[in-house]
Each structure stands twice: as structure tokens, then as C-alpha cells.
Amino acid sequence: MIKHAIIVAGGKGKRMKSPVPKQFMLLAGKPVLMHTIDLFQHHTADSGKIVVVLPSDQQEEWRKLCREFRFEVPHTIIIGGKERFFSVKNGLEMLEGSKGVVAIHDGVRPGVSNEVIEKCYQTAEKKGSAIPVVPVRESLRKQNHEGSRPVSRQDFVLVQTPQTFQLEKIREAYNMHYTPSFTDDASVYEASGYQVTLVEGNKDNIKITDPSDLAFMQWLKKEEP
């Protein structure tokens, strides 16, 4: 199986209250994005490609960081788009051929397990797609103009990445025109007429968005053997 990875890293770090983009912030001694790329290295090593999508104004800084930290995992850097949809579309255009599967992952999710990554690749190869999810643990309420009401958390799951697909099918899906309803790759895939397949994710696979998330990941990396 040919395994590719597209890693989307377009964050500005506004909620981190830092001038440093969150994907470049240090985690256990090196930038967050390097941890994330490392996770896909051995999965794609045989025949696949890692594509990293970055804003144009962050690419030179990334190259400097790669030199500074002697980061040598092979990857291709491309420019992102105004919306995530266009960033992923640009990434898909960099992958040659139509065979294999592609994992599309957030650059600031360095906590995904190797087991989940491999499960996503294997499931997508068999069923067309694999979307990692975890259960909702808190109580939920639905709000409206009249107030709120409880809803069953059993009816909901939290969606993670890497959202993984057969390359030919997701490339076809991204030929559609963009609409604001495309909140992730699964919604694009589903809108093109395909059915998504859910797989179990891992609870530590959080998206780093604020300082508390980064602090949790710092602790988690220290606890790793």
C-alpha cells in the first residue's frame, strides 16, 4: 500500500497569545510541527510522500528551524490557501498518481498514536475512508433563543485527524466548488456522495490551540518512555 500524508499547518498562534506560530513553538525540545511530521515518517517511508502545507510568510522560518534542529525527515513544503479546503487541495495536487491512501492531519496534533495512524491507513484502504473519533465525556445541552435543553452525548462523537482516504476518491471530492459547510475533509468527502467510516481515535490526540493544550502536551511527552 502506498501511504501519503498531508500535514496542514497554517496556525497564527492568536489564542496562544504569542508572536510565534503555534506549530513552531517548542515542545520537548523541538518545534511542535517536527513532532507531528516524525509520527508519519515510518508509515510513508517505503513509497509515500509527506507534504507540509504552510503559509508563504512562514516557510523561510521553517527552513531555518529545520537547519537549526537538524531536522532531516524528507518532506515537501507548499503554500496553503485562504481556507483549509484550498490548502488540502494544493496538497493533493502534489501527490503523483492515483493509487494509495492519504492521511490528512493537523500540524498541531502531535499526540496521535501510531496505532491510530496505522488503523486509519488500513481502514481507508479497505473502505475508502477512516475518520478517527472519540466519545463525548461531558454532558451536552443544545441552546436556542428560548433557552437550552439536554441532549444525549451517546449521539455525538468528537472528530480528530488524520482523516484518511483512498487518494483517487478524495482527489475527486476536492474537485467540487468550495462551500462554508466544508468544515473538514470528511465533510468534503461526504458531500461528493461517499460514506465516511469512523474508527476509534485516542484521547491524547488533541489539537493545540491555547497555552493549556501546550502544557498538557509538554507533560505527556515527558511521560513517554
Mean confidence (pLDDT) of the chain = 94
Provide DSSP, the chain.
--EEEEEE-----TTTT-SS-GGGSEETTEEHHHHHHHHHHHHHTTT--EEEEE-GGGHHHHHHHHHHTT-----EEEE--SSHHHHHHHHHHTS-SS-SEEEEEETT-TT--HHHHHHHHHHHHHHSEEEEEEE--S-EEEEETTEEEEE-GGG-EEE-S-EEEEHHHHHHHTTSPP-TT--SHHHHHHHTTPPP-EEE--TT-----SHHHHHHHHHHHHH--
pLDDT band of residue 53 (cuts 50, 70, 90) is very high
Task: Report the predicted TM-score, pTM, of the whole model to 2 decimal places.
Answer: 0.95
Domains and CATH numbers, the chain: 3-223 (3.90.550.10)
Question: Tell me, what's the pLDDT at 10?
Answer: 81
Measured CA to CA, the distance from residue 119 to residue 132 in angstroms comes to 9
Q: What is the pLDDT of residue 69?
A: 98
Identify the pLDDT of residue 120.
98
Is the pLDDT at 16 greater than 80, yes or no?
no
Q: By the 8 A CB rule, do 214 and 16 touch?
A: yes
Instruction: Tell me phi and psi for residue 192, to 5 degrees.
Output: -85, 0
Angle between helices 32-44 and 211-223 (to 10 degrees): 50
Q: List the grid coordinates of 58.
A: 512562514
Q: What is the pLDDT of residue 11?
A: 67
Per-residue pLDDT reduced to its tens digit, 65-84: 999 999 999 999 999 999 99
- pLDDT value at position 111? 97
- Tens of pLDDT along 151-180? 999 999 999 999 999 999 999 999 999 999
Length of the chain as a residue count: 225
Give the three cell numbers for residue 142: 443544545
pLDDT tens profile 114-142: 999 999 999 999 999 999 999 999 999 99
pLDDT score, position 225: 58
